[in-house]
Chain A
Amino acid sequence: MVWFRRKEKGVLTTEKKQIPDGLWQQCEQCREILYRKELEKNLYVCSKCGNHFKIRSWQYIAIILDENSFEEQDSNLQSVDPLKFKGVKKYSDQIKSAVKKTGLNEAVVTGSGKIERLPVVVAIMDFAFIGGSMGSVVGEKIARAIETAIEKKNPLIIVSASGGARMMEGAYSLMQMAKTSALLAKFSDRCGLYISILTNPTTGGVTASFSMLGDVIIAEPGALIGFAGPRVIKQTIGEDLPEGFQRSEFQLKHGFVDSIIPRTELKTKLAQIIRLLWSEGDNGSRE
């Protein structure tokens, strides 16, 4: 359970022992012990402090899409270690263990579904898969999702959760930024509606490409959102970073997100935005 890995290890380890695994979960922000069932019902938002827990892609799908409406596409796409990358670990081994750990083939799940009966194409990133990093497969799956949205003339929703580009694919991973952005330009030229949802964390190459290109950009409360990671910035400037730096509220203040919406209201608001901007059969050219 990742929540126990944070600071003050000693204290938490003892606490962990006292908590029956699975029944209770601790909020990593306010340390409140939460009843798991309640937490689930509250969409993994801490009832005491409002902290939005990191959640898995399938949980997000359940939160924003109508029940049983999701049809996955391209779940068979897999990373292939194109550079035969060897760092401390072999990249091919990292992929294998991520697949085993997450039950996913990659760090994004894509497909079609409905939000209050409105058709949408979604791409939902999963931070549990190598930190939600973007390599060739993430780029390709998002590109294909955009193409599906173009073809079906449906709104597109991308939920970001990523530490950035996947170093182990070198320049290929960098080029996924250009690839996804190029397809979004094509989609936009056809007047497709794209809503980008930023969750904790959204940084690096993902932020500097599709995440920041939404017609409407929504952030979950308190999410870390930025280009450079806080550690790199701190190292570069040699100063401590201001309170709340790079959080959703900071991005709202500086004009880079349209709205901060708690997870519990997200689905309703998404449907509202879609109804206001999009209509069935919108084919996208306003000429």
Chain B
Amino acid sequence: MNQFVFDFEKPIVELEKKIEEMREYAFVENVEISEEIARLEAKAQKLRQEIYAKLSRGQLYQLAKHPQRPYTLDIVERIIDDFIELHGDRRFADDPAIVAGIGMLGEKKVAIIGHQKGRSTKEKLFRNFAMPNPEGYRKALRIMKLAEKFDLPVLSFLDTPGAYPGIGAEERGQAEAVARNLFEMSHLRVPILIVVIGEGASGGALGIGVGDRIIMLENTWYSVISPEGCAAILWRDSSKFNEAADAMKVTARDLLEMGIADEIIKEPVGGAHRNYDETAQILKENITRHLNELRQFSKDELLDKRIEKYRKMGHWGEG
């Protein structure tokens, strides 16, 4: 797999390449330069920390869309045992832009739903770039109802550039599908944990995004429109996404400050795309902890708290 590199990652990648070359040289020529290599590795680690600590909102937005970021199924295959994928909305079709299924998270049964991006061109088209049609939202709802019936908590992974704006999507009621999920998720009688793993674009993300807690990986974004979409509207120039990201405050840290996200989950240094296994492990620990906490509440308490959580969202004045 060819590595995809953003400009701001270049110094790190160059240094890493140099370290790799030195290792090879040391091996081939059989010379002892391990001290020099260790020095450079320490330097690389420091550089990673420095660069990633200072990323702008626009850069974080780019990281969230990094083509090598782990997607829903990359995470599911690392943290869920006995995963069975369940297909179709029983009304129209199966939407590959959303995956759903059941499995074991450690010792506990869970239902899983999530947006699914594709890696290769062919797969991207198959997944429709993780832009769901109504049947995707309806499949997710069907699996949530199944979870409710058999008392499984729901784990929802958000990673979409938006619901698909197409003729068929409108004919089949994209708006109704999203609205219905918001409504049903608000009073589904099992715990729902929302995990933002990449892009949280608007109603397309929220359509499987109502729950008891919202946790976000460090390098993710979530807002009412993508910074590029916002820039296209404001300045008729989507390349001004940096300014738009600042104006809308779209990062995980922003969402935590706004009281919308409940927690930020640290990624491995350099971002989730640099280490899937470690990212998955970190997610597994945190997801398990949150689900255990949510299991402590009675069903009525859970629903009261959930509605109260959304009831409080927003800022207004009373003049």
Contact = CB atoms under 8 A, between A and B. Distances in A.
A169 B250 CA distance: 11
Nearest to B134: A227
Nearest to B170: A226
Ordered nearest first, which 10 A-B pairs have the shortest CB separation? A136-B314, A228-B165, A181-B182, A82-B315, A182-B186, A207-B175, A227-B175, A170-B248, A227-B174, A212-B179
A87 B317 contact: no
A227 B202 contact: no
A3 interface: no
Nearest to A176: B314
Interface in B187-215: 187, 202-203, 206-207, 209-210
A79 interface: yes
Contacts of A241: 167
A208 B179 contact: yes
Interface stretch (A52-60, A62-70, A230-238, A278-286): A230-238
A154 B233 CA distance: 40
A254 B173 contact: yes
Contacts, number: 204
A242 interface: yes
B306 interface: yes
Contact of A236 (B165, B203, B209, B258): B165
B207 to A, nearest CB: 8
Interface magnitude class on chain A = 35 or more
B180 A213 contact: yes
Nearest to A228: B165
Contacts of A213: 179-180, 183
B316 A79 contact: yes
Interface in B281-318: 306-307, 310-311, 313-318
Contacts of B202: 165, 174, 205
Nearest to B312: A179
A175 interface: yes
B310 A182 contact: yes
B93 interface: no
B247 A185 contact: no
A171 B255 contact: yes
A175 B165 contact: no
A83 B248 CA distance: 7
Residue from the set B163, B176, B224, B248 with the largest chain A CB neighbour count within 10 Å: B224
A175 B225 contact: no
